[in-house]
Amino acid sequence: QQQVKQSPQSLIVQKGGISIINCAYENTAFDYFPWYQQFPGKGPALLIAIRPDVSEKKEGRFTISFNKSAKQFSLHIMDSQPGDSATYFCAATTAGGTSYGKLTFGQGTILTVHP
């Protein structure tokens, strides 16, 4: 019940295209859903995050769509650039009450943006 399932495993997109990565979770106690970007040899860096009280959050070219009833959320990268080539992880946690920052990660998506 603690799993977060992420797809696809890898994604190839042309420059200027839209990259879409999907995640699904099971634990209904999760109430905070961040996305992380990881470059080779580096640690994950927070990209954007959403709480389930909104269905969409946009920051620049990055948008999270959230479907609470389906327990699914997705990352959309608009106008994808070669510099966006990295591994993307969705994650989930409980952020309220007595919780703390224990993250459950998806398996990761390797994004390659061709020039």
Partner 1 sequence: NAGVMQNPRHLVRRRGQEARLRCSPMKGHSHVYWYRQLPEEGLKFMVYLQKENIIDESGMPKERFSAEFPKEGPSILRIQQVVRGDSAAYFCASSPDRKLSYGYTFGSGTRLTVV
43 versus 115: smaller Cβ distance to partner 1: 43
80 versus 93: smaller Cβ distance to partner 1: 93
Tokens of 31: 């109430």
Q: How far is the CB of 109 from partner 1 (least distance, A)?
A: 10
Q: How far is the CB of 26 from partner 1 (least distance, A)?
A: 15
Give the residues lining the site for partner 1 (CB under 8 A).
4, 6, 32, 34, 36, 41-46, 89, 93, 95, 99-108
Burial class (CB in 10 A: 0-12, 13-18, 19+), 53: exposed
Q: How far is the CB of 22 from partner 1 (least distance, A)?
A: 14
CB atoms within 10 A of CB 18: 12
| Residue 97 one-letter amino acid | G
